[in-house]
Amino acid sequence: MERGHVLSFRLKMKASEEKKGSNIVLALDQVPGEPKMLLSKSLEILEKVHLYICAVKINRHLVLPLGLFRGVDKIVEKALSLGLPTIMDCKINDIGYTNRVIAENYFKAGFDAVIANPFVGWAEGLQPVFELSKEMDRGVILLVYMSHKASCEGYGQRVQDPRTGEVKPQYTVFAEKALAWEADGAVVGATYPDKIKEVYAILKDVVPIYSPGVGVQGGDLRAAVENGARYLIVGRSITLTDKPEEAARTIRDAAMGGS
């Protein structure tokens, strides 16, 4: 998908947030209906809810059955026409050469940003992804603490900082990397508002926090926002309802302090 020069990802997110009056990122992952209707149903949901969201996140739920080109790229193109930034939740987590190829394909398909796992480190890890993102005016969001129950087994383990020798939680190390690497966002699950608060104390408003897990996973959107989340990632509570536009509007209003 050919595109002209675009705003940096952070600026694009801020502009969309202000224009839409929303901090909700739609996780357009699980979509109801027959597999053969997956693309049309995804486009239909997007059309219905676009007024109440500020961005779209896509995971492998759509990429695997539809394919990246001549499939998911149509959803990305639709989001672009509606003024919505797009995020690919690919959780990049391999060696540098492979990571760059992964990111390049998603960027060529039109995605504005990718999510990556800082466990692989910088040199010969995520450095090529960050360099590519700068070349193509795209963004990189880092996983800092996920939203599921077993997050503590990886992101919550205590580790020794190789630079200082200090023992600290893994997620605080990742938050520090988000700052040092100039990431465009940090993912911290809404199911752990205490972790959001700790990470926000490190990131302040320099790196915005994206919080998944609102709704079906039990995350409280007000607690997430009050503890420092900038954007809320919401999926099944919108996509699996009979009236996704009403669900999106209700969640948007609650997140923004409305009725």
Give percent above pLDDT 90 in the chain.
84
222-256 residue pLDDT tens:
999 999 999 999 999 999 999 999 999 999 999 98
Residue 235 lies in a domain: yes
Query: What's the total number of domains in the chain?
Result: 1
Neighbours of 201 (CB within 10 A): 12
Question: 232: which 2 tokens?
Answer: 């809320």
Q: Is 223 helix (H, G, I), strand (E, B) or coil?
A: helix
The whole-number average pLDDT for the span 27-39 is 82
Residue 181 lies in a domain: yes
For residue 15, pLDDT beyond 50: yes
Question: 256: which 2 tokens?
Answer: 């923004």
Of the residues 91, 108, 177, 197, only one is catalytic, namely: 91
Residue 146 lies in a domain: yes
Q: Is 234 helix (H, G, I), strand (E, B) or coil?
A: strand
Residue 1 lies in a domain: no
Q: Is 162 helix (H, G, I), strand (E, B) or coil?
A: coil
Whichever domain contains 49, its CATH number is: 3.20.20.70
Residue 123 lies in a domain: yes
Q: How far apart are CA 192 and CA 223, in angstroms?
A: 9
Nearest to 27 by CA among 138, 132, 147, 134: 147
Q: How far apart are CA 221 and CA 225, in angstroms?
A: 6
Residue 162 lies in a domain: yes
Active site residue 91: yes
85-115 residue pLDDT tens:
999 999 999 999 999 999 999 999 999 999 9
The amino acid at residue 114 is: V
Q: How far apart are CA 123 and CA 119, in angstroms?
A: 12
Residue 3 lies in a domain: no
Residue 2 lies in a domain: no
Q: Determine the structural domain holding residue 226 and report its residue range.
A: 9-255
Beta bridge partners of 212: 233
